[in-house]
Amino acid sequence: MSTFKFVVLPGDGIGPEVMKAALEVLEVACKKHGHSLDYKVCAVGGAGIDEFGKALPDSTVETCKASDAILFGSVGGPKWEHLPPAEQPERAALLPLRKIFKLFANIRPGLLYPQLTDASPLKSERIPDGIDIVCIRELTGGIYFGEKKTWTEPDGQLAACDTMMYRVSEIERIAEVAGNTAMARGKKVCSIDKANVLETSVLWRKTVTEYFKKHFPEVELKYMYVDNAAMQLARDPNQFDVFFTENMFGDILSDEMAVICGSLGMLCSASLGDIKNSLGLKFGLYEPAGGTAPDIAGKGIANPCAQILSAALMMRYSFGQDEIAAEIERAVRDAVCSGVRTGDIAFGIEPVSTDQMKQAVIDRL
């Protein structure tokens, strides 16, 4: 019998709606195994700005530091769009959280059930068995975090530059995550870079090659240039199984993967680092792939599955509860595949509400 201690950051828009559903599902799944939850709800994003004048209030950070994991909703919305970019909820809350907790690896399963192929913009005959791949993105290095500046050239025109930089240690630690993920799946991994043009990619490829040779000799390692990877993902996503790449390439490819997998309402993610929690497991931040969906917020119709599946990932990585995670994942799959669907994945079926979707998952637990 264990008590799982984590922080809940619902955020804005549909965040609190889908979070409520996820917590109820988690409660039922854990109770079934005799476990209980001990979580604190804190303000973040627009809610943080409204309550404390800051997207990431100090009290929220302190509570996160005293916890074993963060279950995150999503942040932002029209109400805060007038703010300067540096104060916008996403930039001022999510990026610092990744930095503070050194969350360098983003793991996003690209899962599309065969019964949901209609939700994908790809032709169903190309993905008759759905999609089941994993994207791993380096999250705290590369061009987003390198030196940047804007200056005036001698001829008077403005110029700007951003710097992409990677150290061997940063490449090795993401290679380790990719290797472990591949070992737990099909022992196949594709490293994506632009080694025909970029120095960072040449180092990336060399480091990855040596790291896999030494630590994951059983894993079949392939390489692909990022421009080709973008095409291959749209042509035949299942050729990948597990792929991993640097920050900016991963930002773009993970969104491409999200769209071919149908609705953002189904896709979860885990951001992990090397920090260990009080259980000696990985501290992590778990969140849906989508945003705050202002167009449907407050209507009670958002798809809670991505948030529920993010909670399942939290049970797996930060609490070592693989069985509970798998039971939640199975319950979501069963509910969706038996025809219980929110509007984003309904396709001719009468859509259900967030609450009904949640209840269908609970019923199957």
List residues binding ligand NAD (CB under 6 A): 14, 18, 74-77, 90, 94, 264-265, 287, 290-296, 302-303, 306, 344
CB of 98 to ligand NAD, least distance (A): 11
Contact 272, 282 (CB under 8 A): yes
Phi-psi region of 332 (alpha: psi -120 to 50; beta: other; left: phi over 0): alpha
Residue 139 CB, nearest approach to ligand NAD (Å): 12
Residues 335, 341, 345, 351, Cα dihedral to 10°:
170
* Catalytic (active site) residue 225: no
- Residue among 207 and 247 whose Cβ is closer to ligand NAD: 247
Q: Is 166 part of the annotated catalytic residue set?
A: no
Which CB, 208 or 260, lies closer to ligand NAD?
Answer: 260
Provide the 10 A C-beta neighbour count for residue 62: 11
Catalytic residue at 118? no
Distance CA 204, CA 210 (A): 10
**Closest residue to ligand NAD, based on beta-carbon distance:** 291
From 50, 129, 255, 363, the catalytic residue: 255
Minimal CA–CA distance to 22: which of 33, 280, 11?
Answer: 11
Whether 129 is catalytic is no
Among 129, 162, 227, 236, the one annotated catalytic: 227
Q: Of the two residues 63 and 292, which places its CB atom closer to ligand NAD in the complex?
A: 292
Nearer to ligand NAD, 41 or 183 (CB): 41
CB of 77 to ligand NAD, least distance (A): 5
Annotated active-site residue 5? The verdict is: no
Shortest Cβ 218–ligand NAD spacing (Å): 35
List the catalytic residues.
144, 194, 227, 251, 255
